[in-house]
Amino acid sequence: MNSTSLYNQAIVAIKALYTLITKRSFIKRIITASIITIVVYALYMQSSPIFLSIGIATTLLYILLFEWPYFKQPFLTPLYPVLPLLLIIALNQGSYRILLCFCTLIAASYDMGAYVTGTVYGKHKLAPSISPKKTIEGLWGGIVCAVIAGWLLYIYFALQTPLCLYTLVVIVGALCAASGDLLESWLKRVAHLKDAGSILPGHGGFLDRLDSLFIISALVYITRKSLYTWLFF
């Protein structure tokens, strides 16, 4: 067997393996989440705020053009999703930018914790009339995961805030993330949709991934001055 034939067989085997593992939604979700995390980290840490703001604005445009019309709720458009994404852009400025990092971390960790815990241990429905798959176990798992992620942020930045106060803020943030998730689930139920889109394998659309961030970012923006003082001084 020559090297060219061996190379071609290796490529075919790798493609077959990837097809096999990505048939499972959970694997797709992890791969997509990892890629999103790397991209957001690069934009946040390795570039000026303007590039991340452009990325958020582009995401908003995509949602309005390809995802939001399916919901058929035009009267909500200025409040959801336009306002939350504009508030996220506003948080991405000056000294308050660290709060955007806080919001994103709490929302993302809640999402993943709720998904994994709900999938493995979920038995008791959280809001069956809105989202039959969401469970109380998933809610608690998401909160615990958010608290752990929040503690890691606390240690990384060596924050001086009393840990009990900081933890309370993280729990409130996780509950906001849960509320945002339920709000989008209600919209999808009204529109008879499973997902807002299909651009993100294992996740659905951008709106499906950003829903948990919307409520927490709005609350943090409203209280940004006091939150910044409490948490980071």
Q: Given this model, what pLDDT does residue 79 score?
A: 92
How many structural domains is the chain composed of?
1
Q: Given this model, what pLDDT does residue 16 score?
A: 54
160: phi then psi, degrees, rounded to nearest 5: -100, 0
Please report, as a single letter, which amino acid is at residue 82: V
Residue 200's beta-bridge partner residues?
Answer: 204
Residue 6 falls inside a structural domain: no
Q: Given this model, what pLDDT does residue 41 score?
A: 82
pTM, entire model: 0.84
**pLDDT average, residue stretch 143-167:** 91
Residue 31 falls inside a structural domain: yes
Q: Given this model, what pLDDT does residue 22 score?
A: 52
Give the residue with greater pLDDT, 133 vs 4. Answer: 133
What is the domain range of residue 227? Answer: 24-232
The answer to whether 198 and 205 are in contact (CB under 8 A) is yes
Give the integer Cα–Cα distance in Å for 46 and 105: 17
Q: Given this model, what pLDDT does residue 178 score?
A: 95
In this predicted model, what pLDDT tens digit does every residue of 15-40 receive, in sequence order?
Answer: 555 555 555 566 777 777 777 888 88
